[in-house]
A and B are shown apart, each in its own frame.
Chain A
Amino acid sequence: MNLKIFNSKDFPAYLPKLNALYDDLFSGGKGFRSKLVQMVSDPIALPQETQHLLCQTIEFIHNASLLHDDLIDGSHLRRGKPAAWTKYTPEYAVLAGDYLLARVMVNLSGFGNIKLVQFTSETISDLLEGEWLQDSVVGDFFVGLDQLDRIHNLKTASLFKWCLRAPFIAAENYDENLHRTLDEMGTILGQLFQRSDDLLDYDIRNDEGKAILGDLKSGYLNSFGAFISKDMNRAQIDQMVKSHDLNEFYKSFSSDSELGQKLFKTKVEEFDQINTKMIELYSHHLVELEKQLKKPDLIKALKPLTEILYWRRKPKS
């Protein structure tokens, strides 16, 4: 199903600037989250209208978070274009984000499922808590991976959990065990997505050409950074923090850059190993889900997600 998430008719015509901002914002996005909603919704035969509502909801929440995120982080580019706050002023970016979240509540309350409204509100709360906490650890180069996992569970995984659970809530399936399993799966998908995204910062599987060491330079030790720094001494961490490029970064492992690169690669392999274990756990939860739902189509659709999200490759057919 092809969905047009954003339609200018959804927003007041007397606010042309708002519509222009959304035009810029929504064009170019991959819409992965709404695709995930569809992956779950189709096998459980959720009506198209409801699917559209859910897809719109998740994209509105995600894009609202991007509007606010870019302003907080001071990022000038979003999807290769000027970030909204630079083009339309920070005030408009904040208001546009708030407006999207307000539309989410208007649309969902119109749908009439109070549990869905509650779950969505909790997801937005988690997202904001995660953003807040992430900001509070900027400049902390001794933060642990387990601590970052908690932040990412709120900030990133909350939306994945929503994508997996919301279609069932909309279909009025509130089975606790089912939702617990989906929660665990959503957490894993969110963590894998975040960790893979964090590896891009170190030019690992960076086919998108994301800026190198961007997180580190802005004072944020991401999940991979936390993983490698746990075995480093103070001097090594100092070297890591002041690195301007990867060659300087490798020197935090060894003064010999070549050896440093080799040690760095070993660390990447170790990081991949712990995430492979997480992928195995995801597969286990898929089996549990199959037992609970007996929906092979759904399992088939969800199975390749770890390939896409962590390894960033197309799944083998």
Chain B
Amino acid sequence: MSRYVTLKKNDPLFNQYLWGICDIANHTALPMSTLNVGSPEETITFEIVENSSIEKPTQSRVLLNLIKIKKLYLVLVPFLYVAIKNYVDDRFFDPLSFALSLIAMLAIFIGFNIRNDVIDHISGYDRVNINHNKPLLKGWVNTHFASRLSNFFIGLALLISLPIVYRQREEGRVIIVVTILLFLGKLLTKNSYKNHRWGEIIFFVLSGPGVVSGYQVALGAGIDTEVLAFGILWAWSIQFLVHLNNFSHLLTSAQAGIKNTMTRYGFDGAKKIIIYWWIIFVFLWALYHYFYSSVFWGWFTTAILIFWSIPTVIKVDQIQSPLGSDTRMIKKIGYRNFLLMTTLVIIEFTWYWLTKNSWTP
């Protein structure tokens, strides 16, 4: 058998190869990446490699990579926030539903992360914006298995949410809104890798206000402005990471006609957006603390964020090229900013937990 196979979309074998369910004894078909970014979803060249030649990490590491274990804190930190806030406010009404909501949230988060990889793989996005560590591109797992795993986690999340809805009826409304937004997102992007603009807005709503509302309602505490304010703050910071990621492959995305905020405003505009986005975040942080936190933590954490942000802003402003190592460096620096902010949230709220009732906003 030839080492390479090129298949067109209308070829009966196309989907079998792409989903990794082709019948090639002891071999795996890996889609090749392309620099010709016009229409990678139309024709794909596959490299046929022997299974034994694929350098595969241990199964547990593959799984951890696939579920993006390092990103789980994106749903764990809001959980911690809601738990402490309601503990301090004496509104910790339904611990069981709350615990179940965490499991459901983790399952849905994992399920959608895997689904996202599957969609990127099928649409051709991962062959245009090459990320060498994607388990699907490396052949560590086949797309079909990943898709089934994604379905399993999403199904698990739905199953776990049933007793929550039974105990906290309001949760049903949150789930309906989230489901509508998810379908809307899928509809607006037409499952294509080329339009991410609507996806950004929907992701913003879901990743912040959506997550904290889900926890809050599961706890039986009801949604309030404080929790929504934190949700917006959290979503704003996550969107900062999304912008940084899109900025790091601005060039290839623009060449491929992918539409997101970064490609829309171009290199110089995108740099400004990243800078202003973070400055606005620090402002929102200060505002949140002004209304809902202790004076000390408000001043202390805002001051830390401002001092830490100055070099970041300077470095983003100094980037000269949409290619090169600068874009990778900025992604790292921005990520560090995010981690610092997360650490501050954890320290601050742990303090509230330990010193319950001994401070006033």
Contact = CB atoms under 8 A, between A and B. Distances in A.
A312 to B, nearest CB: 23
A136 B250 CA distance: 15
A296 to B, nearest CB: 18
A159 B38 CA distance: 17
Nearest to B47: A281
Given A133-B323, A284-B3, A180 B43 contact: yes
Given A137-B324, A280-B4, A287-B2, A180 B35 contact: no
Nearest to B323: A147
A215 interface: no
Contacts of A147: 323-324
Interface string A92-124: 000000000000000000000000000000000
A151 interface: yes
Interface in B297-334: 320-326, 328-329
Nearest to B321: A136
Contact of A143 (B34, B39, B325): B325
B45 A281 contact: yes
Contacts of B344: none
A183 interface: yes
Interface string B19-46: 0000000000000101110110011010
Contacts of B322: 133, 136
A146 interface: yes
Interface residues of A, number: 27
Contacts, number: 68
A238 B150 CA distance: 46
B323 A281 contact: no
A180 B36 contact: yes
A287 B45 CA distance: 13
A31 interface: no
B321 A187 contact: no
Interface string A188-222: 00000000000000000000000000000000000
B6 interface: yes
| B interface SS class | loop
B36 A143 contact: no
Contacts of A146: 130
Given A140-B326, A143-B325, A180-B43, A280 B3 contact: yes
Given A137-B323, A140-B326, A146-B130, A284 B2 contact: yes
A194 to B, nearest CB: 12
Given A146-B130, A177-B8, A180-B43, A281 B324 contact: no
Contact of B323 (A136, A180, A183): A136
B275 interface: no
A273 B68 CA distance: 32
A184 B4 CA distance: 13
B251 interface: yes
Given A137-B323, A143-B323, A147-B323, A284 B35 contact: no
B35 A140 contact: no
A136 B324 contact: yes
A184 B321 contact: no
Contacts of A131: none
Nearest to B326: A140
Given A153-B35, A187-B36, A284 B321 contact: no
A140 B327 CA distance: 11
Contacts of B328: 142, 144
A151 B321 CA distance: 12
A183 B36 contact: yes
Interface in A151-166: 151, 153, 157
B252 interface: yes
Given A147-B323, A284-B2, 9 more contacts: A140-B324, A140-B326, A142-B324, A149-B35, A153-B36, A180-B38, A187-B36, A281-B4, A285-B45
CB-CB nearest 9 A-B residue pairs = A136-B321, A142-B325, A284-B4, A137-B324, A153-B35, A140-B324, A183-B36, A143-B324, A147-B323
23 contacts: A133-B321, A136-B324, A137-B324, A140-B325, A142-B324, A142-B325, A142-B328, A143-B323, A143-B325, A144-B328, A146-B130, A147-B323, A147-B324, A150-B251, A153-B36, A177-B8, A180-B42, A181-B6, A280-B4, A281-B4, A284-B6, A285-B6, A287-B2
